[in-house]
Amino acid sequence: MLKFTENEALATRHTFAISTFSRYYVETDDTVALFDFLNDNKAISASVLIIGEGSNLLFRNDYPGLILHPVNKGIRIFDSEKDSVIVQAEAGVNWDELVDWSVRHAYGGLENLSMIPGSVGAAPVQNIGAYGTEVGNWITEVLTFNLVTGESKWISNESCAFAYRDSIFKSDEYNNIIVWSVRFKLQKKAQVNLRYKGLNEALKNIHNPGIREIREAVIKIRSSKLPDTMIIGNAGSFFRNPTVTYKKAASIKTDYPDVPTYSTENPDRIKLAAGWLIEKCGYKAYRKADAGVYPNQALVLVNYGSASGDEIYELARDIIESVKSKFNITLEPEVRIL
């Protein structure tokens, strides 16, 4: 199946719900049909943007090229061993549907990533993470499709170059390559992850919690902090949490003893909470027209109804400048701005 439209409205195609349009738009679950279409329409496929559910995008303008949206579905067991199972999910599967499926089948690993908006295909690109884990910890390989050559290729976990909210799929060499399917190695006997302080606290009265209890707790925590994208336009965390030297963190702690810090894989650096920095700059619950900062989590910028992409962008820029001025830390957007 391949569906092609022109001047496609994007308000319902991305979670910020900005009123913009794409000059050309394709939905497909068939790589053969897709490759034939691109070959037959080279003039309109010179600039291709690949999107999942649009949960990490901010459109400042209409998109002048072709937006490609994979809608291939399916979750299946690819292989099974004594203590683990390899699960293959297609790019068009909703991410939380996969997490729910894994928990219902008692396969551990993804439960801490419950309720993250987006699709399976987008998960390795962003290396989504939350509550003490990242998706790259569970991926074994990723099936890619080259839009130019028509080649399908499995990329190993090691070759994906997973890092904090990053992967090889963000590099320029992958501009014309789409994630088509992902394999995950999950646990048959789950070893629960309670390293995240807030999650540990939420489950303190439950004896020996399992992956179902963790999923329920994560959903409850996220629901209390983050706005529903179906009600308020947003892209979740707008900024990455910055990492700084221990010396820098100590200097901030002198004036703000309550500053939250988190360890990183780099022994010379420590992570700060971007939301805390933004809140200390006075932006929590800030609103200008329909562009604002969510009251329950300063890391989330929101569209209260009719905000433009430029209005959200200008708010983000003001926040970056304020945090830089107050703490000499430069926040980097996690959201892709177009």
State yes or no: is 134 an active-site residue. Answer: no
CA distances from residue 307 to 160, 187, 244 in whole angstroms, order as listed: 36, 43, 33
CA–CA dist 47, 70 (Å, integer) = 16
CA–CA dist 220, 193 (Å, integer) = 17
Q: Which of 45, 102, 237, 308 is catalytic?
A: 237
The angle at the Cα of 202, spanning 198 to 205, to the nearest 5 degrees, equals 140
Q: Which of 8, 90, 134, 334 is catalytic?
A: 334
Phi-psi region of 36 (alpha: psi -120 to 50; beta: other; left: phi over 0): alpha
CA–CA dist 293, 177 (Å, integer) = 34
Backbone angles phi, psi at 257, to 5 degrees: -60, -20
State yes or no: is 53 an active-site residue. Answer: no
State yes or no: is 237 an active-site residue. Answer: yes
- Determine contact, residues 122/52, Cβ cutoff 8 Å: yes
- Determine contact, residues 180/152, Cβ cutoff 8 Å: yes
Q: Which of 165, 167, 215, 308 is catalytic?
A: 165
Long-range Cβ pairs for the range 115-119 (8 Å, 24+)? 115/218, 115/219, 115/222, 115/223, 116/236, 117/15, 117/53, 117/55, 117/229, 117/236, 118/52, 118/53, 118/55, 118/56, 118/94, 119/52, 119/53, 119/70, 119/91, 119/92, 119/93, 119/94, 119/95
Residues catalogued as catalytic: 165, 237, 334
